[in-house]
Structure 1
Amino acid sequence: MHDDGVFDQAIAENYDRIHGDGSSAAERLVASVLRDLAFDGTALEFAIGTGRIAVPLHHAGVRVQGIELSAAMVDQLQQKPEGADIPAVVGDMTTTRVDGAFSLVFLVYNTIDNLTTQDAQVACFANAAAHLTTGGHFVIETLVPPIQKIPFGETMRAFNRSDTHWGIDEFDVVTQNYASHHVRLEAETYVKNTVPFRYAWPAELDLMARMAGMRLVDRWADWDKSPFTATSPSHVSVWRKD
């Protein structure tokens, strides 16, 4: 039986409700930026999930394919009217190959951190480069590790508190691993889940890219292409295959 990991059926069924279904202005902006980077109109999304970015990118005229570890997430994508037109393979984005070459490979919404070892993250960059045409772009959106916000010697940081959701990150600064703990109120019941991650600094990601034959060409604080600074909480990075 296939193991969907932390993104099981229950998570997949509620994912769009919690994180967005691709219809917001912010998600359309992401699709617009990615469309411009897919210069020949072909794109491969690592961790395509429910298609919250792939669907608006498909609407923008880009031929999108995807790789996704969770069969439950792919099932949610394929249930959408547009999902039938977006091929998605169930597999590991560090090793799974799909046919063809692409001008764009992208991995958004902090998902590089779902690879919980440095070796796996390095393999992800290599797999992206293997799918790219010469001059093609690999794009990652992820957070800047919020270590400066944690008091010296502490390991916990609360990042959200509302009537329906509490979120706490627990960090190990030795291994660069962290666990994101969530408690959500759903149908008058509190549901807890924990997702493991590994954070990487932008400079570390740049080195992974260089090892895979790619070089940094842009880094923004957000999809609006605002400048990346020392206080930016996240980054959108674009590497080009030489």
Structure 2
Amino acid sequence: MCVQKASQEAKQRGQLSSYVPLINKSICARCNTYIGSSSDAVQIGNLRFCAACGPLIKDWDYPQWLKVSLAALLLLLVVALAHGRTYFHAGREMYVGERLVKQGRYAEALPHLKETLRTAPQSDKAALLAAKAALLIGDVDTADKALHGHNGGYFEDANKPEFKEVNDLWTRATGALEKAGQAAKLAQQDGKEIEAAQLMHAAAAGYPELPSLAFAAEVYDAGAAFARKDYDMFLAISKKQWSEHPAPGT
């Protein structure tokens, strides 16, 4: 009580008022028996125990239920760490993939994001990032798997800017592919070569991330030139394509 009163008075005077109890090492910390400087006393940490209490504390036999509980807790900890390692790996892969996407390195980002989805297929963020990276390198098939393979195409919040961005990319890409399909059908019809070329150019302009559309547009230009009997243009286009994309063995 004296210590507490002195502490309160010191606090009122604006002085340090904290205090700590002093350990009396001349008595046993367990049974309070006076041990003084006895050579039989046992030192455990900062505490001293008499000859009778020392062995009890040192070799304390914990209850069986406590031992079992500790063993079970350790087992659960090991399982949790093993299970958590998988998700830690997925989180790291998504972090790397997202950083690469922000840097515009979409082709490098895609493998990391695919790995994330392999472990955490329910992740909206990973699916959207993977679809975005795929669409921006012209890989529509991978984008399709990332979007429609994710909860059946369902995303938790379709109003998020990230979702709208990817949805706009998807709409632009699929619209271009639809035009390309229409152009291919027209090209098979007599007298439709020019119209087919125009439609293929529209497809290439709508989705420039897919270089094969631009190449196809040039092919259709060659067909249109041939239909117009503009053989010089036909040969010029053909020569350009051969130089850019030589056939094997030529």
User: Which TM-score bucket, shorter chain as reference?
Assistant: under 0.3
Q: Which has the higher contact order (CA 8 A, sep 6+)?
A: 1
Q: Greater share of helix residues, 1 or 2?
A: 2
Give TM-score, length-normalised by structure 2: 0.21
Which protein is bigger by CA-based radius of gyration? 2
